[in-house]
Structure 1
Amino acid sequence: MRFHLRSLIARFALVLALPLAALASFSTHAAQPNAQTMPAGAKAPGDFPRLKLTAGMYVIDAAVAATDPDREQGLMYRTQLAPNEGMLFVFNENAVHCFWMKNTLIPLSIAFIRADGTITDIAEMQAETSNNHCPKNNGVYALEMSRGWFSAKGIKPGMKIQGLPSPQ
């Protein structure tokens, strides 16, 4: 009788353990695709330099992309942004700088900005598209935020972004 009871307890434990193991495996695999989509050599979000910008009364936590490799990667592979988090692109020349959304997993809004901090254009961009988004005016900065951020905050062309670094 003891053997039968032990066997029954062991089988019951196994019946409970298998679904838990499957759930743990699923959770691990569910978290990995985001990690696996970032190719070797890509910068992790926390590896970009950061600075605080202001747009009206709003403080923006901006990652800074000021080198060619950083600008090429931008917000690619990210699955989310914090509510007032974005990425500031700093260019070496005053020109029309176009953007696209290849490998960018979240929809974004982009503000194109002159050297004096004035926003010239704002565009809405869909995730994972190859459409070009180009400003009508020359500029040295672009600021990407979660889609709809600028309109939700009442930030429009003609307004200024404060705290911008000097262009290189």
Structure 2
Amino acid sequence: MLVLAAGAAAQAADESMLEIVTKDGVHVFTIEMARTNEERQKGLMFRKELPEGRGMLFDFKPDQDVSMWMRNTYIPLDMLFINGDGTIRRIAENTEPLSERTIPSGGPVRGVLEVIGGTAKKLGIKAGDKVAHPLFSGQ
């Protein structure tokens, strides 16, 4: 029982807030961080749901070209590829669950934000919008 409580506390401790500034306003997300190779490889695999307003931010320090995939991921996701200065470089919308097709960043990025599929369209999030989070310079 103590192990479960400690694990839950550790997961909650690695959550933070992230804001995306669009022409229509500021959208706030509660995110989990994926910093280690193991965390980045697992990502959101095996999850059956991801509530609106939540997501996972992958840290690829230093900035680099990255490719993602949807292996063992059961829910469609929007992937927001984010430059080191917090500018969204590219968005892959409604990625296909369980696909092993690679989804490239389209250039060097510092992070990738995964949110439930359809979020970018629903909130009007576009390439060029800014992300505010301590991961990105100037934050």
TM range (shorter): 0.7 to 0.9
- Structure scoring higher RCO (CA < 8 A, sep ≥ 6) equals 2
Structure 2 residue corresponding to 1:146, chosen from 116, 120, 135:
116
Within 5 Å, give how 1:119-158 maps onto structure 2: 119-124=88-93, 125-158=95-128
Unaligned runs of at least 5 residues, structure 2: 1-6
Deviations 1:5-58 (A, max 9, x none): xxxxxxxxxxxxxxxxxxxxxxxxxxxxxxxxxxxxxx98x7271110001211
- How big is the alpha-carbon RMSD for the aligned residues of Structure 1 and Structure 2? 1.8
Higher helix share: 1
- Misfit runs of 4+, over 3 Å: none
| Partner residue in 2 for 1:17 | none
What's the TM-score once normalised by structure 2's chain length?
A: 0.83
| Partner residue in 2 for 1:164 | 134
What's the TM-score once normalised by structure 1's chain length?
A: 0.69
Residues 1:66 and 2:31 aligned together: no
Aligned 8 A contact 1:51 1:62 in 2: yes
| Partner residue in 2 for 1:54 | 19
Aligned 8 A contact 1:91 1:140 in 2: yes
Unaligned runs of at least 5 residues, structure 1: 1-42
Q: How much does 1:163 deviate?
A: 1.6
Instruction: Flag the structure with larger Rg.
Output: 1
> Quick one: percent identity of the two aligned structures?
32
Higher strand share: 2
